[in-house]
Amino acid sequence: MCPETSSYLASDSFYAGILHIITTIGVPIHLFGAYIIIFKTPCKMQSVKAGLLFIHLVSATLDVFFSFLAAPVLTLPGCSGYPLGISLLLGIPTSIQVFIAVTLFGIIGVTIMLFFEDRYHRLINGHKSKNWIRIVYIVIHYTIALSYVMPTYVSAPDQDIGKIWMKQNVPCLPEEVLHRPGYFVIATDNTIPKTCLAFMLTLVMSQVFFYVGAIFWHLFHTISISAATNRLQKQFFLAICIQVFIPLLLLTLPSLYIVLAIWLEYYNQTTTNLAVTMIPLHGVLSTITMLMVHAPYRQATIDTFCGSSTTKSNSPQIRITGNELQTVF
């Protein structure tokens, strides 16, 4: 039996309304987060400023793209959908929008991985300029992030054939959906898309886990620095992990639903829409977490909204560089 498709919760107007609310709330938060990173990052955190800012900008771009520019409606369990965002008015082909969306996921994954890779080399090797091997390493990974989805596009079906396939294999899908502006079927066989996504996920997450594990091992086994410095290193790295992984957990929920919906051939537009609305909340949560877990950003936020603090902390400040952090009183 097909789920109710005429429900307001399954309608485009309800879905678009939620995304507009997310945009209205998210954009000011993203702008404030960028302001804090650019203008309120203390000297002790200069070595991570660029990395934090790039992660923030990529996350914000993903949020704005999903909530405002594209506002994609997925028609699972097929690999298809249509846009509701401003891109539809601008006449941007849906195929291009899908490419941008999938690429953004790859870019944010590579950006997070390279952030931990940078922290690993700074911690182990100290603050050194990038050599050509690392530059090639970075270029290769961003090239993969920009191209890993290309096999799916090469095998994309003729759209008329794709719509016929959707009608036959997803009988619960309303007929009028197939004729919505910008409706696009990226694949009738999910094997290639799944392979591309699995490859990218394995490439990124295996390295993330390696670098995170290696950094933790180093922090808990090093004896070449003072106990106080080692404690400060652990606190900083734990804050970074909280900032990165808590928002990522939010992305796992819609990702898990999408995988299960395709695997079980389950169609329910209401739950699909609600799952997708969680994606643009990722960057918002990431920004809020960043402002909470890093003491300088937290204090700058409090000073911004509650007035500047006149009290000075007597606790040691740290300069996040190489093996031995510089302690400044």
Residues 263, 190: Cα–Cα separation, whole Å: 10
- Report the chain (329 residues): mean pLDDT per 10 consecutive residues: 75 95 96 97 88 95 96 93 94 94 94 93 70 90 96 92 93 92 93 91 95 90 70 86 88 88 90 94 94 94 80 45 38
Q: Which amino acid is at 279?
A: I
Residues 243, 247: Cα–Cα separation, whole Å: 7
Residue 235 has a pLDDT of: 86
Residues 317, 42: Cα–Cα separation, whole Å: 10
**Closest C-alpha among 297, 236, 309, 321 to residue 37:** 297
Helix and strand element counts for the chain (H, E): 12, 5
User: In the chain, what are the domain boundaries?
Assistant: 8-308+317-328
Would you say the pTM of this structure is higher than 0.85?
Answer: yes
Residues 318, 45: Cα–Cα separation, whole Å: 8
List the beta bridge partners of residue 73: 82
Separation of CA 44 from chain center:
26
What is the dihedral sign for C-alpha 84, 87, 90, 95?
negative
The sheet that has 72-74: what strands, in order across it? 72-74, 79-83, 184-187
For residues 257 and 279, the answer to whether their CB atoms sit within 8 Å is no
| Fold (topology level) of 8-308+317-328 | Rhopdopsin 7-helix transmembrane proteins (1.20.1070)
